[in-house]
Every structure is written in C-alpha cells, then in structure tokens.
Structure 1
Amino acid sequence: MKITPVPVCVISGFLGAGKTTLLNNILNGDHGLNITVLVNDFGAIDIDSQLLAKQEGNTISLKNGCICCSLQNDLVFELQALLSHPDGPPEYIVIEASGVSDPSKIINALKYPQVRDVFQIDSVVTLIDAQTIQDLEGDVKHLAMSQLDAADIIVMNKAADVSKADLKRIHDDWLYPSARVIETNYSDVPLDILFSLSGQSKALMDSSNHKHGHSHKGLFHTWHWKSDQQIDVTKLRSVIRTLPKDIYRAKGVFFSDIYPEERVVLQVVGARQEWSKDQYQNQDRQSQLVMISMKKEVDMSAIQEQLDNCVQGSIVK
C-alpha cells in the first residue's frame, strides 16, 4: 500500500523578516489542519491562551489540533519521532528555519533515505524585510540570496513602509523575473497560498457548479477547469511551463489513453512543478485543475483556451 507523504512547509528569512509573526498567524489561523510546527525557540511565539491545552517539556498541545514542537535535536531524528507520536503522525508540518541558516539544508535533510518516503516538501516560503534588505552586505547578503534562491514563494514583508520605487528596486536587485512574490504587511499571507491545495481542491473538484472563487479580502482568485475527455499530456506540460508568474498554486489530476490504468497528478508551487502518476480505479475519469492566482493579473480566459486545446483531438486555434 502506497504511503501518502506528510506535506512540509519550510519558512525561511533573515533575522527580523517576520517569520515568527507568520507562525503566530498560522497557529491562530482557521485552517482546519492538524499542524506540527518545528521551531528553534518557543520564546517569541505568542500563542493565544485560549488555544493552549497543555505543555509538556518541549511540546505544546493546542486545542485547535496544532502541536508545536521545539526543534532541539537533529531534524531527521525529530521527524522520525513525530511518526510515533501517541496522537498519530501529523497531518502537516511547518518548519521555521533559523534566521541565519540556509533552508536548502532542511530541504536536503528531507531527502534522506530514512524520511524521504514519508515526508514531502509542499512549499518553501522566504520572507524579506522590505525596509532593511537593501542594507545587507557581504556574507549576510549572500545568505539572504541563498534563502531567496531556495524559495517557491517570496513574501516581501513591511511593503507599506517603503515607496513603490524602493519595492521595484528590490525586485530588480534581488529577485528573479519568474519569482512568485507576495507584497504584504505584518506577515499577512493567505494560508491557502502557504499550504497544500489538497483539502481545498478536493472540495472544489467535488463540486460541479463551482468554477470561480475568491479569498483573502478579494486579492486572490481560485479557478477551476475540468474535462471529461482524454488529455494530451505533452500539450499539457507545455501549457503548465508557461503559466504566468502570478499563479502561485495549482493542483490537477489528468487522464490520458497513454496511461489507461493511471492518472497524471500535477502539483505547482511557485515556479516548481511536480509530476507523478498513481493508480486510479474510480469510474469517474474526469481531468481537473485548480489554480490560485492574483485575481487582477491573470487572463484566465486565455489559460482556459490553452487547456481546452490540450484535449485529445482538439484543434489549436
């Protein structure tokens, strides 16, 4: 029986970028996930006393299902220990990287043979302080660049405190043109951008009438495409490679006569794509795709036309 890996979100960023504020938002958020948070120090985390259930040693249990564990030992050891927790393995893990560490070390640790089949990187999020990033120099600057290089999604925090010209300068000086960037304040990031679409996309895919949705004060747009016909996977890959950078998340399942007993599964986080196949025995062989984007920036009608042209037998317009 194939094991479904536990998704892991890695939060990175230099000192003062807003990582702890983001963790506080997650721990107090209405996300419906049983999250385990691995941090280096509890001290700065402001957990709402109404959520606190109990604290034992380096573990804090929360009433909303979250468990917060202090990352004091080897990461691989900590992850293995979580699998044998009395309450069962976590549904989702968030790891806060130290402000002076390179998150690629965490990413590499998750590839170790002991854990690679049971844990899977869901997203790597790097925060930057828009007020101070331009002041970084020398080794500190190289470290910040490494943190940005590892990111699927970049959160430019404290954006309201700098001018539009300075924001553009940060984009030009620090970020790749294809980078997925969210400009925000107080680490206010939509949780459906941070976390896997697994639960959300299932709800959308189970609804035949729900095609469009909005979230997080109308800034983000959830869009749903589906087809009952077989998909040309080669055409599909070409479309996915050219998705606009304002699409932050996508998840899809697709059916093709090339794989009669399997379905093609797609996960997109930022610019990173993961393709896989798995067994599928349900009678319903409907290809579906869910995407989250910046509402005002993406021409969804053009993307729908491109996806429609991936249906086998379709004529490219």
Structure 2
Amino acid sequence: MIKVDLITGFLGAGKTTFLKKYAKYLMDRGNRICILENDYGAVNVDVMLLQDLEGEQCELEMVSGGCDRDCHKRRFKTKLISMGMSGYDRVLIEPSGIFDVDEFFDVLYEEPLDRWYEIGNVIAVVDAKLDEKLSEESDYLLASEAANAGLVIFSKSQDATEEDQERTLNHLNRAMEQVRCKRRFQDNVLRKPWDSLTDEDWKGISSCGYVLESYEKSVFENDEGYTSLYFMNVHMTVQELRSSVKSLMAASDCGNIVRIKGFMISEDGTWIELNATHQSTAIQHVEKGQEIIIVIGEGLIRDKISAFFQTQTE
C-alpha cells in the first residue's frame, strides 16, 4: 500500500519549505514520491515553488478550486483514485492553511482508497513566533491541525527566542483547550532549526504517525470565514511592493489580512517571489513565476485592498 503523509500548518507557517526538505530526505533514500498540492483556492502558487523537485523520483499533482467544500472533497478523492496505480512509495499532501483535517481521514477511509493507501504521518508545522492576535476561527484551525498530528514541528525557530517559543506553546495549548481537546504540547514538539536536523531527526519525522484525538467541531458562517483575493499583472518596483505590503498589513479597514503571497516581474525583468505575514515579509528572486499576488484573510474588502497595488484585478 502507498503511505500518505499530511503536512498541515496555519497560513504562512512554512509548510512548503518543510515539504521540500522532507521530500529530499525521502528521495535520497530511494523513495518514489508524489507531492499533491491540495488548495481550496482557484489558483495554487505553491506548486511552482516545488518544480525543482520534479523528476524521475518525484511527481507533482494539484487539486484546486471547487464551488464548495463538498465539491473540493470529490475532486480530492478523484485525484487520489487516478494516482492509485502509479507505483509511488509515498504521497505527500500539502493542503491549504485553512484545510479541514477531517477531510483527509474521511477520504482515505473510503472505498476504493482504503485498499490502495494507508495513512502514514500527520505533521503539523507551527510558526515558532506565532501571532498572538489570531481570530477565533484562526485559533480553531490551529488546534484542529495540531490535534491529530503525530508530530508538531516549529518553523523559524532559529529566529525565535525561548520566550517566543514558550509563548507559542501556551497559545497552542489554549487553542486546544478552547476546542475541548485534552491533548497538550510541551516536550512533544520538535523545536530545532531545520538546517540542523540530523538523519536521526528525519527518521523520526518520517515515522511519527498520527493521533486520533477528539475535539469540538466549529462551523463558521461563510461571510466570517477565510477568502482569497487575486490580483493579476502587478507592476511596481520591489521597493514599492515591499512598502505596499507593509502598509496593507497595517491597514485596519481592509479586513483581517493574514498572508500575502505570489510572484511578480521585478524592474530588472527577473521573477521575484513574495511571502508576507504580520511577522515578516520575504521577497526573493526565483527562476519561474506567475504574475499574481494573492491576499488571504477574513472579511477582505477588495476595493480598498486593490488600491495598494498598481494593477488590473479580476
């Protein structure tokens, strides 16, 4: 049977960066893998960041869009069925940062997938400097992603103090309490910088398994939930982009913006990648891109947000 690992994590936690390192570890040990990017949005830019992995040992697949969660779930199942006879040793699934983890378990326990696949690991990536001012829905998503994880891994721990990390652990445990889950985290969290992970660390990660833990489900109204806005063909300098993102993140009348990501052609004609949260803004050169900026958050107001970009929108 094909093992399936789920890599969860709240928006901007660093799932894709972790996934690249994890995939390389598995391929170095002879595994033939498939990475499935599974997003509710109409456009998935994260798959572009994984293209350098693609080759004989690694294939990339994508599920995106869907008019509602049921439609998305059907597309997810159909994609896994089509992949069932491809001879993979392991499938790594990176979902949206607002993914309902129950969908993963529900789909893989259904026929015929239960004959082809077995659940391997559920790994939750958590920013070591987690934003303290998360909304009620954000805290729910954070808890639901960690509840069933065989291992919680801190990202960006090299930039976080011990106080930052303890604050994040306390926040995570408060979120678990709020959803009436008895699980708590302290020593059962991997807090090492990823560049210093040893083979023994990666061996433990690749066999961490998962936990079936109960928690209280919450249902949020659509107009209170997360949405994504897409801005095409953004043309400005890198400095203008950085300034606009900083101002937009601080704007109180645009909705609760959690993450801004995407690609743009810089003034020198090269591609740049943008990845911004309230904690940091990273802009770096990449070989390939797609002219799109995606703003993700709650209660977003398109007209006000679009004013921050010199762009046509759709």
TM-score (norm 2): 0.52
Superposed displacement of residue 94, structure 1 = 0.5
Aligned-partner SS, 1:107:
helix
Residues 1:68 and 2:60 are matched in the alignment: yes
Equivalent runs, 1:1-317 vs 2, <5 Å: 5-29=1-25, 30-40=28-38, 41=44, 43=46, 45-47=48-50, 49=52, 52=54, 62-63=55-56, 65-72=57-64, 74-84=75-85, 88-175=86-173, 176-177=184-185, 180-185=188-193, 190-196=201-207, 249=208, 269=209
Q: Give the % identical residues.
A: 22
Aligned-partner SS, 1:142:
helix
Superposed displacement of residue 170, structure 1 = 2.4
Contiguous gaps of at least 5 residues in structure 2: 39-43, 65-71, 174-183, 214-314
Amino acid at match of 2:159: D
Amino acid at match of 1:191: W
Superposed displacement of residue 271, structure 1 = 5.8
Q: Are residues 6 and 48 of structure 1, via their aligned partners in 2, closer, same or farther at CA, if it must alter by over 3 Å? A: closer
Q: Distance in 2 between matches of 1:146 and 1:47?
A: 26
Contiguous gaps of at least 5 residues in structure 1: 53-61, 197-248, 250-268, 274-317
CA RMSD of aligned residues (A): 2.7
| Deviation readout 1:222-255 (Å, 9 max, x if unpaired) | xxxxxxxxxxxxxxxxxxxxxxxxxxx4xxxxxx
Superposed displacement of residue 150, structure 1 = 2.2
Question: Would the aligned equivalents of 1:9 and 1:194 in 2 still touch at CA under 8 Å?
Answer: no
Q: Are residues 16 and 43 of structure 1, via their aligned partners in 2, closer, same or farther at CA, if it must alter by over 3 Å? A: closer
Amino acid at match of 2:63: L
Superposed displacement of residue 177, structure 1 = 4.2
Superposed displacement of residue 92, structure 1 = 0.6
Q: Distance in 1 between matches of 2:109 and 2:205?
A: 21
Residue 256 of structure 1 corresponds to: none
Question: Would the aligned equivalents of 1:10 and 1:123 in 2 still touch at CA under 8 Å?
Answer: yes
| Deviation readout 1:24-55 (Å, 9 max, x if unpaired) | 22344423211111004354543475x54xxx
Q: Distance in 2 between matches of 1:179 and 1:81?
A: 40
Q: Distance in 2 between matches of 1:177 and 1:147?
A: 13
Amino acid at match of 1:46: L
Tell me how many residue pairs correspond in the alignment.
184
Question: Would the aligned equivalents of 1:104 and 1:150 in 2 still touch at CA under 8 Å?
Answer: no
Q: Distance in 1 between matches of 2:142 and 2:195?
A: 18
Q: Distance in 1 between matches of 2:204 and 2:120?
A: 11
Residue 241 of structure 2 corresponds to: none
Higher helix share: 2
Amino acid at match of 2:14: G
